[in-house]
Chain A
Amino acid sequence: MHETLSNLPLLSGLPAQVLVVLAMVSAGGIILGCIAVGGMFFIWSERKVAGYIQSRYGPMYVGGWHGVLQSLADGVKLLLKEDIWPEKADKPLWRMAPLLVFLGAFLSFVVLPFGPNFVGANLDIGLFYVMATSSLVVMGVISAGWGSNNKWALYGALRGAAQVISYEIPLGLALLPVVMSTGSLNLGTIIQAQAGWIHNWHLLNPLFFVSFWIYVISSLAEVNRVPFDLPETESELVSGYHTEYTGMKFAFFFLGEYADMFVVSAIGVTVFLGGWYSGIPALDVPALFPLIFILKSFFLVFVQIWLRWTLPRLRVDQLMYVCWKVFIPIALANLLLYGVIRTVLS
């Protein structure tokens, strides 16, 4: 990034340190722009998909073509709304919560590999880092629920925390066979192991097939999407942990949720769906890599939206049953089986 900047005629006179800082600031700005624009796009597409599933159009007016600017208008509206804080709220916790939720999503974006040289921070422990930052969201949920001093918010936060921490275990266990196969936690290395024709994708390897499905289902629970949206069950808990938030603070919860959807999809694409490779060697030109990666991730986001408007919600006991008594044993058995097969084959 900073080599590109130093080649610009306007900036060539500047010292190297300034250029590095400039490069990082612009990279941060790009990520921020991606989250804001991407989040708005997902909110719009969620409303459109919901509309078409329910035989209506969804937003149609703002922005001309199919209401594309609806989310932008909503964002401006939220910015101009009154910022109400409940009298009994625990102020520091209550104010910190939207920031933590947003930060959790934002931090994961830094390591997403959009292309071989198109990654914010190329960490050797990328996968581990994403698992760690995605659990930062739990802190936000808990501090929102506790800080609001509202019974519904507290119940929503407790459910949310129990759910997210439970599903983190099958999620981590499902990713381990892939780590064992590639011998690295670096997201770029994991993608490079899937280069070439489509049958190299980990999804199409029978050994990782179970892992993929456990990952997809657990990731729905991680981002509190239907059928696992118990923290915000609007029919019983008003809106769950973000009941007391208005205006911009609410917007950050919302944006964080949609950014998180993209992050879990992108990690799914990286680990199982060949990352930036198209599956056809002739199409794998570096210029297309980011496009392919983003399209695949959008497809998984679309699947999440599709499921939301198709499936009913689970009960809390069913949710815990599925996690502890179905997914964790299957994930452990899957890990063991992979180890046995690899050991025997060698």
Chain B
Amino acid sequence: MNAYIPILLVVSIAVVFTLLFVVLSRVLGPSHRTPGKLTAYECGIPSRGTTNLKFYVRFYVVALLFLLFDLETVFLVPWAVSFRSFVERGMGGQMFVAMLVFFGLLVVGLIYEWRKGALEWE
């Protein structure tokens, strides 16, 4: 647990550091707020409409796929860590076959998405 204390400390240092410099730049920098500066910069043309645009559904699909695949990768990590010790005890074969089932599911999922066209970007 002690190993994580430096991380907590470093986080607080980083937060203090960034806030300090942002406040410092507000104090040191000029402030001439004109209406033109406060609008969104869209190549100099007055901004039209809202930002609540429809965007390409693929972004949503990719986020869903990521969720599945990343979770599956996370499940592979503990297996990978203990793989070596199992090999050394001569149980590598069993360990590997057990993982093949899960691995097969992962590959079947990828093939399914591929065939369904979820990975096509136009």
A residues lining the B interface (CB < 8 Å): 24-25, 27-29, 31-32, 78-88, 95, 98-99, 102-103, 106-107, 109-110, 120-124, 128, 148-152, 154-155, 158, 161-162, 165-166, 168-169, 172-173, 176-177, 179-185, 238, 243-244, 247-249, 251-252, 316-317, 320-321, 324-325, 328-329, 332, 335-336, 339-340, 342-343, 346
Does chain A have a CB within 8 A of B46?
A: no
Interface centre among B10, B24, B87, B106 (most CB of A within 10 A): B10
Closest-by-CB residue of A relative to B41 is: A243
A336 to B107, CA, bound (A): 11
Which B residues from 9 to 51 make CB contacts under 8 A with A? 9-11, 13-15, 17-19, 21-22, 24-26, 28-33, 37-43, 47, 51
Q: Are the C-beta atoms of A86 and B39 separated by less than 8 Å?
A: yes
With beta carbons under 8 angstroms apart, the residue of B5, B24, B38 that contacts A79 is B24
Interface Cβ pair total, 8 Å cutoff: 207
Chain B residues closer than 8 Å to A165, beta-carbon distance: 62-63, 66, 70
Query: Which residues of chain A come closer than 8 Å to B114, judged between CB atoms?
Result: 324-325
Residue pairs across A and B with Cβ atoms less than 8 A apart, 28 shown, are A79-B25, A79-B28, A80-B25, A80-B29, A81-B29, A82-B29, A83-B26, A86-B38, A87-B38, A88-B39, A88-B40, A99-B19, A106-B10, A120-B7, A121-B7, A124-B3, A149-B40, A150-B40, A162-B58, A169-B66, A169-B73, A172-B77, A180-B84, A181-B84, A183-B81, A185-B77, A328-B110, A332-B103
Q: Which residues of B contact A332 (CB under 8 A)?
A: 103, 106-107, 110
Minimal Cβ-Cβ distance residue in B for A29:
B13
Residues from chain A with a CB closer than 8 A to the CB of B24 are 79, 248
A332 → chain B closest CB, angstroms: 6
A123 / chain B contacts, CB cutoff of 8 Å: 3-4
Do A151 and B51 touch across chains, with their CB atoms under 8 A apart?
yes
Give residues 49-68 of B contacting A (CB, 8 Å). Answer: 51, 53, 55, 58-59, 62-63, 65-66
3 shortest interchain CB distances as A-B pairs: A183-B84, A317-B121, A248-B25
Interface residues on B, range: 35 or more
A176 to B32, CA, bound (A): 53
Binding site for A on B (CB under 8 A): 3-7, 9-11, 13-15, 17-19, 21-22, 24-26, 28-33, 37-43, 47, 51, 53, 55, 58-59, 62-63, 65-66, 69-70, 73, 76-77, 80-85, 87-88, 90, 92-93, 96, 99, 103, 106-107, 110, 114, 119, 121-122
Known pairs A98-B18, A99-B15, A243-B41; A162 contacts B7 (CB<8 A): no
Bound state CA distance, A302 and B113, in angstroms?
37
A32-B13, A343-B96 as given contacts; A78 in contact with B40, CB under 8 Å: no
| A346-B13 Cα distance, complex, nearest whole Å | 48
By a CB distance below 8 angstroms, the chain B residues around A183 are: 81-85
Give the chain B neighbours of A173 by CB distance below 8 A: 73, 76
Q: B92–A346 contact, CB under 8 A?
A: yes
B112, chain A: closest CB distance, angstroms: 13
Question: Bound complex: CA of A339 vs CA of B73, how far in Å?
Answer: 15
Residue among A78, A172, A320, A339 facing the most chain B CB atoms (10 A cut-off): A339
A168 to B67, CA, bound (A): 11
What distance in Å separates the Cβ of A289 from its nearest Cβ neighbour in chain B?
Answer: 20
Cα separation A316 to B120 with both chains bound (whole Å): 11
Chain B residues near A177 (CB-CB < 8 A):
80
